[in-house]
Amino acid sequence: MTEQTPEAPGAPSERKLHKLSPVELKDALLPVEDEAVKTREAVMLNAGRGNPNWIATTPREAFFLLGQFALAESRRAWDVPEVGLAGMPRSPGIARRLQDFLEASDDAPAVELLRGALTYGVHTLGFNPDRFVWELTDAVIGDNYPVPDRMLSHGERIVQEYLAQELFAGRPPSGRFDLFAVEGGTAAMTYLFHSLMANGLLRKGDTLALGVPLVTPYLELPRMEEFSLRTVDLQQSATTKDGRPTWQYPDAELRKLEDPSVKAFLVVNPSNPGAVAMRKESVHKLVELVRKRRPDLLIITDDVYGTFVNGFRSLAADLPRNTLLVYSYSKHFGCTGWRLGVVALHEDNILDEALAKQPAPERARLEARYGAISLHPGRLKFIDRMVADSRAVALNHTAGLSLPQQLQMTLFSLFAVLDKDGAYKKYCQRICQDRRQALLEGMGLPLHEEPLSTAYYQTLDLEAWCREHLGEDFVRFIEDHHDPLEIVFTLARRHGVVLLHGSGVDGPPWSARVSLANLEDDAYPRIGRELRDEVLRAMDAWKKAGGTPPDLH
């Protein structure tokens, strides 16, 4: 919040940047940030993106170790070394051979993980040893199409256990969740919206409720031409007595879901950018609302940040019939480049029920759509229709996530399930919590205990803070003399810091999201100090204009 400064050469104008979504605006600000770095010899700090700067090493080491074993198995079947050709792994006796391979290996963490995986798969989950090990081995080689195409059978069973542990707090509902392995959370959303429309479960002009503030792509997706859905916002707006936003849903907002014209509710839980899990009271009210008033309501929940809140429990755990669950491995394991995610749908769900009740002409249309892939297309479950639709149905025979990707997902899941003390999870949580504390200390703000916070992001509502601590006159002065986007422009130009602005995600106009995941620890006190400096600059300008600010120095 400062005076206008000349634009960097080649930089887009601020007026043009107003048209961009916050995600794209963040990238467009990088040339501005570069200019600040050149003039001040500062270090660029891009805190606008949520890609973590840590990775899970042990499951990756296990992947590469298993690759060595798989190549030996391939050469065992057929080996032409002079041209670099080998055969395909064979199943008989392969579990024993893997055990021998591991016995001959050093006692590294990856070896222990694979040994534990064998024991867990065979003795806890009841897998046939050779079938299990062959699936792992063939997957790392990647020499076959995915079969089953929705997800490999042993991998699906292991991921079900992982989700039960991490997203259902170890207390999953009765029955089974079918899983569709996909290329991350964004692919999951693309596929499910496409299939909902293709199957007449959502239609153009239908109303979708959005839990806002909400990450920009999810705001934009339902409004795209191919979907053309109407949207109604459920605003996270509850605040504490001292004016801090809690990013929770007031009861009046949840009651909007009682309207029968609202066909579905899209929510990120824990939220992004708010970075908190839905409180138990709101979950109970939502469960009661669905069961008593809206048993037909579809809930689409993205739970990617669930592992950063202790005891997190997905809406899918309490409303399994109504919920499409999306989960991505990207944040917890530091694997955005792997593109790993799943869609989970309970075997007893309202979507399959709605398909069975459709009028005869609609059922006939859909039977024709899926007739080439099933002798009984009318019985095809919605989640299997998603798989077919992901390859335009006609190419269903090549559907499915690549096998190496599915293997890495399986190994990530095993790593978490076998980590009985949760050491890796606790360390990841501590990284974010420590950075949050450093940011707030840099701003001169107190640290409050927030058990529902992921601390993966910190969204700062500067208007609410200023109204509480500086008064309404100061807020009016800022609104009269500045544009909300100035906070991100000024930080980029003056300090070389890039943040995600809040107004573009249907958040408070004078808010900004700081990613606490992707920069070194010592970056966050600096970001906090520079945010504080900009508030002090605005206060000085207000003082010159006749205002009487309190002493915050």
Most confident residue range from 1-15, 234-248, 391-405, 504-518: 391-405
Same domain, 324 and 212: yes
Digit-coded pLDDT (tens) for 411-462: 999 999 999 999 999 999 999 999 999 999 999 888 988 999 999 999 988 8
SS3 34: helix
Residue 501: pLDDT over 70: yes
Query: What pLDDT, in 10s, does the model give residues 174-184?
Result: 999 999 999 99
Lowest average pLDDT, out of 18-32, 221-235, 497-511, 512-526, goes to: 18-32
Q: How confident is the model at residue 509 (pLDDT cuts 50, 70, 90)?
A: confident
Residue 248 is part of a domain; what is its CATH number?
3.40.640.10
* 146 within domain boundaries: no
Q: Phi-psi bin for 334: left (phi > 0), alpha (psi -120 to 50), beta? A: left
pLDDT at residue 239, as a whole number: 63
Mean pLDDT over residues 64-82, rounded?
A: 98
Per-residue pLDDT, 17: 55
Q: Which of 15-29, 53-67, 316-330 is predicted with the least confidence, judged by mean pLDDT?
A: 15-29
Q: State how many domains the chain has.
A: 3
Same domain, 188 and 335: yes
* Count of helices and strands (H, E) across the chain: 23, 14
236 and 371 belong to one structural domain: yes
Tell me what the mean pLDDT of segment 521-542 comes to. Answer: 89
Query: Residue 240: exposed, middle, or buried by beta-carbon count in 10 A (0-12, 13-18, 19+)?
Result: exposed
- Is the pLDDT score of 360 beyond 80? yes
Q: Which one has a higher pLDDT value, 61 or 449?
A: 61
Share of residues in the chain with pLDDT > 90 (%): 73
Residue 347 forms part of a structural domain: yes
Confidence of residue 16 (pLDDT cuts 50, 70, 90): low
Query: What is the chain's length?
Result: 553
Lowest model confidence (mean pLDDT) among 53-67, 235-249, 250-264: 235-249
Does residue 189 register a pLDDT over 70? yes
Same domain, 484 and 429: yes
Q: Do both 43 and 76 map to the same domain? A: no
Establish if 97 belongs to a structural domain: yes
Task: Express each pLDDT in 151-171 by its tens digit.
Answer: 999 999 999 999 999 999 999
Does position 504 have pLDDT exceeding 80, yes or no? no
Residue 534: pLDDT band with limits 50, 70, 90: confident
Work out the pLDDT band at 62, boundaries 50, 70, 90. very high
Same domain, yes or no: 368 and 438 = no
For range 495-519, the mean pLDDT: 86
Q: Indicate whether 505 belongs to any domain.
A: yes
Q: Is 53 left (phi over 0), alpha (psi -120 to 50) or beta?
A: alpha
In which domain, by residue range, is 518 found?
14-50+423-544
Domain boundary among 381, 398, 415: 398
Is residue 412 assigned to a domain? no
For 319, the 3-state DSSP assignment is coil
Q: 158 CB contacts (<8 Å, ≥6 apart)?
A: 121, 125, 410, 413, 414, 417
Q: Which of 102-106, 330-334, 374-378, 445-449 is predicted least confidently? A: 445-449
Structure confidence by residue, pLDDT tens digits, 254-271 = 999 999 999 999 999 999
Please check whether residue 113 is in contact with residue 62, taking contact to mean a CB–CB distance below 8 angstroms.
yes
Domain boundary among 398, 433, 450: 398
pLDDT at residue number 74: 98
| Same domain, residue pair 469 and 332 | no
Alpha carbons 328 and 342: distance in angstroms, whole number: 7
Residue 38 has pLDDT above 60, yes or no: no
> The domain spanning residue 66 has which CATH number?
1.10.20.110
On average, the pLDDT of the chain sits at 90
Other C-beta atoms within 10 Å of 418: how many?
15
Looking at residue 20, its pLDDT comes to 52
Residue 9: left (phi > 0), alpha (psi -120 to 50), or beta? beta
pLDDT value at residue 243: 60
- 134 and 68 in a common domain: yes
Which of 56, 117, 151, 144 lies closest to 342, judged by CA? Answer: 151
Residues 364 and 452 in one domain: no
- What pLDDT was estimated at residue 242? 60
E strands, 393-519, are 457-461, 497-498, 500-501, 511-515
In a domain, 417, yes or no: no
pLDDT score for 421? 96
Residue 452 falls inside a structural domain: yes
Q: For the residues 474-494, what does the mean pLDDT come to?
A: 83
Maximal CA-CA distance, the chain: 85
Query: What was the pLDDT predicted at 222?
Result: 93
Q: Does 535 map to a domain? A: yes
Task: Tell whether the model's pLDDT for residue 551 goes beyond 80.
Answer: no
CA distances from 212 to 192, 232, 271, 329 (A): 20, 10, 9, 23
277, 314 contact by CB (below 8 A): no
Q: Name the burial class of residue 233, with classes exposed (0-12), middle (13-18) and buried (19+) by CB atoms within 10 angstroms of its CB.
A: middle
Same domain, 178 and 270: yes
Local confidence band at 469 (pLDDT 50, 70, 90 cut-offs): confident
Cβ-based neighbour number of residue 109 at 10 Å: 13
What H or E segment, with its residue span, contains residue 346? strand 341-346
| pLDDT, position 37 | 46
Return the sign of the alpha-carbon dihedral for residues 105, 107, 108, 112. positive
Rounded to an integer, the average pLDDT of 90-116 is 97
Alpha carbon distance 376, 370 (integer Å): 9
Q: Looking at the structure, tell me whether residues 312 and 451 fall in a common domain.
A: no
Please check whether residues 253 and 331 belong to one and the same domain: yes
pLDDT of residue 6: 41
